[in-house]
Structure 1
Amino acid sequence: FRNLRGVILPFITVLISVVWTLGLMGMLGKQLSPLNAVMPVLLVSLGSAYGIYMIARYNDELLEGADREKAVSQTLKSVGISVFLAGTTTIAGFASNVSSSITLMKDFGLFTAYGVLVALLISLTFIPALLLLLPVPKKVAAKGGNGQDRTLAKVLGRIAHLVVAKKRSVLVTMAVILVIAVLGIPQLSTDSNFFNFFADDTAPKIAYEMVKDKFSGSESVEIVITGDLLDPDVLHAMENLQTDLEQTGLVGRPQSIVNILQRVNMALNDGDPDFEVLPTTRQLAAQYLLLMEMSGGEMMEQFLTLDYGQARIQALVKDSSNEATTRLFSEIDMLFAKYFAHLDVEVAQTGIVALLDALASMIIEGQISSLFMALLTVFVIVLLLLRSWEGSLFSTVIVSSTILINFGVMGWLGIPLDIVTVLISSIGVGVGVDYSIHIYTRYQEERQKHDPAQSVTNAIIHTGKAIVTNAGSVIAGFLILLLSSFPPFRYFGSLVTMTMFVASASALIVLPALILLRWEKKVGKGVVEQS
């Protein structure tokens, strides 16, 4: 914009949005987490766009000869509708995270939706009010613009010419990119181990690796047995499970009340290793446990409840990757069926590794359900407000393409889906539908005066300025994260950069090509080429 208001007004929108959102979180007693700590950054990328669109259209109206009051009025009538529509769909997209079974994801979705709502209201009320009070910018009043504006307009004009002349080539190229991306999605992995968030040369990661190497692991898997634990059959089943589990090579030596009873039996038989076995009767097992209680029982309390109703088997996991833990839990399930199916006891897996594995599964399941709901919501809202099947379908296609490319690149580059990178799809939905709606509504507006080719060209040139400004500023900000020593932040910065680029390029190139091809199918190729 080359003037102070072009920076200050969008900044005010973002500032108020972030302050109000964090203030509401504080009032409700919510704490910052690694997940919602990223929320202010999202509000910067999404909230600033609304103010940028308003100011860009306001300047266009002034350049066409409108006075200040008329320019504000025309801005609200034209771009105000698309801003409202984009904001509404973005809010719905983030609110769809309420379907997630992860509480942090629910809170993230709801509070981000609230922040976007605040940014939307500020952009549609506060910014127009300030524009009415502030004088007309001198450069705009001179009906000139600056060299940078003219250069950007020329670039966008060339893009528009390419789209009009080579629409089929554009769509074929996009289809090829999508196919390549989709082939990478099966290679996408999940990672719920928070220690992998640290770089290999950081102190926490070095200490973690040392403990894992020297002590057969740092995270544990826990097995809880509920039932008659004095029954010799139950104790022997626990012993067999521990032996077989250790032989898998996935864990260190498991420990439980079984090991304590074996050592007590050996101690009471002059330390003879041949007697390091379980007691043969219920009465003998009860006597050994009573002896342990009388001697303090601290060790026994780690593995057995006071009423002897629940016991715990603990084993340190050697490899806590998702692939290894998935295999481990499968082995444990088979051992449950092998040794406990005929016994009147209940067995269950738990522990930090099991919780992290469950978290990884919930991330995937929550992501699928949230994305499906978000895309469906976007489609319905755009359909109801634009009253256009075409606009609704095309907007959903652009959003879906952005998300698929994001996941495909993650798969090809080996970037795992974790509690931080899972947010990228939300950004893809937000900016993808935002850019698409602005291009399509401007196209609809231009169609009242021009043919399809000229309408697409005008939409790309005029709306493209705001899209490039927003995407460029957000990309520049997120590129700083590439300097972070925290790997998830580096991934996040690079993926947001890619997502913003793909979303803006798709809206400026692919969406107009879809519009023109659709129009060509309606009226015939010759008519479109002539226009």
Structure 2
Amino acid sequence: MKHFYNAVIKKPGNSIVLLLLFVVFFIAQIPNFQLDASSDSLVLEGDNNLRYYQSVRKNYGSDDYLVISYQVKDNLLAPKQLKHLASLKKDLQTIEQIKSVTTILDVPLFQSPPLSLTDLASKNISIENGNANLALASKEFRASSLYGDNLVSKDGKTSAVLVALKGNEQFEKRRQTRNEMRIKKQNNKLSKEELTKLKNIEKQVIQDAIVQNNLQDKTITQIRTTIDKYRDQANLFLGGLPMITTDIIGYISSDLIVFSLAVIALMSLILALIFKGIRWVLMPIGISITGALTMTGILAFLGWKVTVISSNFFSLLLVMTLSVTIHLVVRYRELAQNNPDLDYYTLIQNTLEQMLKPCLFTTLTTIVAFGSLLISGIRPVIDFGWMMSIGVTIALVLSFIAFPIIMRFLPKAQVPKFNTELGFTHSLAKFSEKFGTYLLVVLVLCIGLSVVGINKLSVENRFIDYFKESTEINQGLTLIDEKLGGTIPLEIIFDDLAQDYWYDEDLRADIHKIHQYLDSLDETGKVLSIDTLMQILTRANENKSPNGFFLNIIKSQIPENAKTQVLDPYISEDSGQLRMVIRIRETNKNLKRAVLIEKIENYIAKDIGFKKDSFHTTGMLVLYNNMLQSLFDSQIKTIIAVFIMIFIMFLFIFRSFSLSILAIIPNTLPSIFILGIMGLMNIPLDLMTITISAIAIGIGVDNAIHYIHRFKAEFTKDHDYLATMYRSHNSIGLAMFYTSITVTLGFLILALSNFIPSIYFGVFTAIAMLSALLANLTLLPKLILIFKPKI
């Protein structure tokens, strides 16, 4: 350590050069920093259903399309309105990345006028072709099994404009190759050469995604600009997964910049009020910003994308680095006040020496807390665990190198006499001494209440609730959900039935029953399947189901534009599959995804008689549900694993079994309280709230380590537990209070976000910090006073 102190204090030249090279290199990588809000970030890694879903998309194409809801006050099919819609469609088609635009103008009509079975194969009726009866078309759009509550709302005033975006075949092939090779890797079937090839392909896929995201962002901007020109005669909202992805990235980017700046400004103000000195503001803030920017550059260098889950990493790293530097500043000022004649270099060295162990230990326990996220099985959560583990390591190293170097080039600070007895921490010491027994009773009651809340915890959340009602996403999703048949798709795939369907009347009857059952459920919106075509054909055949002979003639002669609407998406001769697509209404407050999926599967298997391995439920709804269901199990595993590991670390740090037990008890409280509050308030676990427990544990044990480390140092003076408690509250208690209050107020700024998960993250992280502070300045010292462990 002597060489380290000499390098950073007495001869800092080389240290400065190396530090600057390291920092500048990674900060220069920031332009390559990427955000990701794709559907891949909302699924469970290793989920077998994901691989099946990818194969289904390969057969039937992507369901990633944009939906423009077109709502009018009067008649949707009025000539003026149709001209307006046609003009919108024409302008949309001029946008380079748009592959196709589907509207009520160009879809095939079967009852406007009514067509017989023979007419279906020869006549192509649509509004755009000019051969449709508009009065009949209005009725057909609302009543049609294909278009009703799908392309047109039941009240006939809202229509969907479906916008398909161009893909990139080369990108898709690379992505497919990557997915196939990842499966082989999981089964240990890749050679060394193939593993190297996989790494290269993964890098290429990342670059492909960057190009595709930039194109998508540009396209959606152009679409919005186009839409704005047509709001004079219709209410228009943009929806669809690509738009949601783009807007979430916009929210993350905005929060990352705006709230990081707000946190920095607020923390600067608080530090100025606390320390009343410009160096004690600029130095901690400067080191914190440098640490967060460096980590951002490392993420860019490694090609790691920030997702919804890790979107607040920058603010967290500001906080983690600031926490270390505040402890250094407080200890330096305390030593300077107690030893005013001490040599400047010695004063800096003593500060580093006395704070190295507790800061090192707190960093290790924080790494353990965030490392617990690695067992979640959800890639973005795992990445967040790695990000923060690396980030807190950088925070420690940077603080212990930058602090002495900066101090070395500044004149010795004249630390004025200040009162070490902060009213708040001193009051907590008095409270612990005189009313600690009452505190234990209150905590037991609070724990009991939290347990009740934890038992009410669920993972059933509505995607629409992620956005405030004032946002376009919320308004667009609500309109599409309520008027146009739902949003999130659920798919049911029946294997090896495509050929039999045309000849087997009983099979057609079973598929019809399933279709009707799905349509009757409260949670479902529009249901589309091969039975949709059968309903159209039955109506064209005087309400009589056509037999196999007619069906085979019709399927071979059906016009191409009708085929793409009612045949190709729901039956595949190549794969032998039948496919049903059910859109789920996210606005249904009683939606329970897992229960719904199980209910549907049981009906098909038990009531209809299909073998369970002959059909599969898939789609984004299933993938998202699998991820949500894994959250609760991983949350329990995470908490248990992290406390076991931290207890083992406490044994190593404190070298006392009894002291380790006393230290772990108060640090279970923040996690218990947060989960309890969430349960009592019916706030479900999701991708962001799952990380708060790990953060709460990391923060709590940091405070415990700092407090006990100082308690042990002060105890050697007189071996008086009570006096030691007061001295500890008036020394390390100050740093704990300053850090916690600064960080708490900083995170509360996130409550102003438009993104609901960010609001929850900010509020619950603030609660975690306050409860961790109070637990370690009240319950922990009271337990020490009661049991008087050997120190």
Distance (Å, rounded) in 2 between the aligned partners of 1:212 and 1:424: 31
| Number of the residue aligned with 2:379 | 103
Structure 2: any 5+ residue segments left out of the alignment?
Answer: 1-274
Out of 235, 238, 250, the residue aligned to residue 511 of structure 2 is: 238
Matching residue of 2:395:
119
1:289 aligns with 2:565: no
DSSP-derived class of the 2:572 partner:
coil
Paired residues, number: 508
Give how far 1:61 is off.
1.3
Report what 2:484 is aligned to: 215
Matched, 1:406 2:674: yes
Q: Does 1:36 align with 2:310?
A: yes
Q: Which has the higher contact order (CA 8 A, sep 6+)?
A: 1
Cα drift, residue 442 of structure 1:
0.7
- Larger deviation, residues 51-60 vs 240-249: 240-249
Q: Name 1:395's counterpart in structure 2.
A: 663
Q: Conserved in 2, the CA contact under 8 Å of 1:230 and 1:285?
A: no
Shift of 1:302: 0.9
Q: Which residue of 1 aligns with 2:522?
A: 249
In the TM superposition, what whole-angstrom CA distance separates every residue of 1:372-404 from its partner, at most 9, and x where no partner exists? Answer: 222222222222222222333233222211101
Q: Give the partner amino acid of 1:337.
A: A
* Secondary structure of the corresponding residue to residue 252 of structure 1: strand
Task: Answer yes or no: is the 8 Å Cα contact 2:515–2:531 preserved in 1.
Answer: no
Aligned-pair CA distance for 1:295: 7.6
Distance in 1 separating the partners of 2:752 and 2:600: 42
The C-alpha deviation readout for 1:204-250, integer Å capped at 9, x for no partner, is 21221122111232222111111133332443332222222223333
Among 331, 348, 357, the residue aligned to 1:57? 331
**2:530 matched to 1:263?**
no
Contact 1:102 1:366 (C-alpha < 8 Å) held by counterparts: no
What is the TM-score when the length of structure 2 is the normalising length? 0.61
Aligned residues of 1:227 and 1:345 also touching (Cα < 8 A): no
Distance 1:476 1:238, change over 3 A: same
Query: What is the one-letter code of the residue matched to 1:5?
Result: R
The answer for the alignment partner of 1:3 in structure 2 is 277
- 1:329 CA displacement: 1.1
Partner of 2:451: 182
Does 1:383 find its partner at 2:651? Answer: yes
Contact 1:167-1:516 at 8 Å conserved across structures: no
* Structure-2 change in CA distance of 1:84 and 1:223 (3 Å): same
More helix by percentage = 1
Deviates more, 1:35-44 or 1:229-238: 229-238
- 2:579 corresponds to: 312
Separation (CA, whole Å) in 2 of partners of 1:71 and 1:169? 42
The separation in 2 between residues aligned to 1:425 and 1:401, in whole angstroms, is 10
- 1:434: Cα distance to partner? 0.7
Give me the TM-score of the superposition, normalised by structure 1: 0.89
C-alpha deviation, 1:483, in angstroms: 2.8
Q: What's 1:229 paired with?
A: 498
Give the counterpart of 2:597 among 329, 354, 366.
329
> Is the Cα–Cα contact under 8 Å of residues 258 and 278 in structure 1 kept in the other structure?
no
Q: Which range moved further: 69-78 or 46-55?
A: 69-78
* In structure 1, C-alpha distance between the alignment counterparts of 2:374 and 2:558, rounded to whole Å: 50
Confirm or deny that 1:203 pairs with 2:472.
Answer: yes
1:311-338: CA deviations, max 9, x gaps?
A: 2111222345574323321211212322
Task: Please say if 1:420 is aligned against 2:694.
Answer: no
CA distance in 2, matches of 1:154, 1:207: 52
C-alpha distance 24-249 of structure 1, shift in aligned 2 (>3 A): same
Answer yes or no: is the 8 Å Cα contact 1:322–1:357 preserved in 2: no
Tell me what 1:90 maps to.
366
Structure 2 CA distance, aligned partners of 1:136 and 1:154?
29
Instruction: Select which of 756, 762, 769 maps to 1:487.
Output: 756
Q: Give secondary structure in 1 for the equivalent of 2:469.
A: coil
Distance 1:23 1:421 in 2: 26
Deviations 1:13-70 (A, max 9, x none): 3223212211111112222222211111111222211111111111111112133233
Cα displacement (A) at 1:178: 1.7
The residue identity in structure 2 corresponding to 1:334 is N
Structure 1: runs of 5+ lacking an equivalent = 524-531
1:465 matched to 2:734? The reply is yes
Decide whether the 8 Å contact of 2:460 with 2:593 is kept in 1: no
Partner letter of residue 501 of structure 1? L
**Which amino acid is the alignment partner of residue 71 of structure 1?**
L
Identity of aligned residues (%): 24
Q: What is the CA–CA distance in structure 1 between the aligned matches of 2:634 and 2:479, rounded to whole Å?
A: 34
AA of the residue aligned to 1:16: T
Could you tell me whether the CA contact under 8 Å between 2:425 and 2:737 is conserved in 1? no
d(CA) in 1 for partners of 2:533 and 2:634?
Answer: 42
1:344 & 1:448 partners in 2: Cα distance?
70
Deviation, 1:296, is 6.6
Q: Deviations over 1:108-141 (max 9, x none)?
A: 1101111100001122333133334433322x2x
d(CA) in 1 for partners of 2:472 and 2:725? Answer: 55
Larger CA deviation: 12-21 vs 320-329: 320-329
Match of 1:511 in 2: 780
Equivalent of 1:17 in 272, 291, 297: 291
Q: 1:343 to 1:56 in 2, by over 3 A?
A: closer
> Residue 581 of structure 2 aligns to a residue in which SS?
strand
Residue 405 of structure 1 deviates from its aligned partner by 0.5
Aligned to 1:75: 351
Separation in structure 2 between the aligned mates of residue 391 and residue 68 of structure 1, nearest angstrom: 36
Q: Which whole-Å CA distance do the structure 2 matches of 1:515 and 1:84 have between them?
A: 23
**Where does residue 353 of structure 1 map in the other structure?**
621
Residue 75 (structure 2) aligns with: none
The answer (yes or no) to whether the contact 1:42–1:427 under 8 Å persists in 2 is no
Change (3 A) 1:262 1:483: closer
Q: Which amino acid aligns with 2:556?
A: L
Flag the 1:184–1:310 CA change in 2: closer, same or farther, 3 A.
same
Equivalent position to 1:47, from 295, 316, 321:
321
Q: Is the 8 A contact 1:221 1:349 kept in 2?
A: yes
- State the match for 2:630 in structure 1: 362
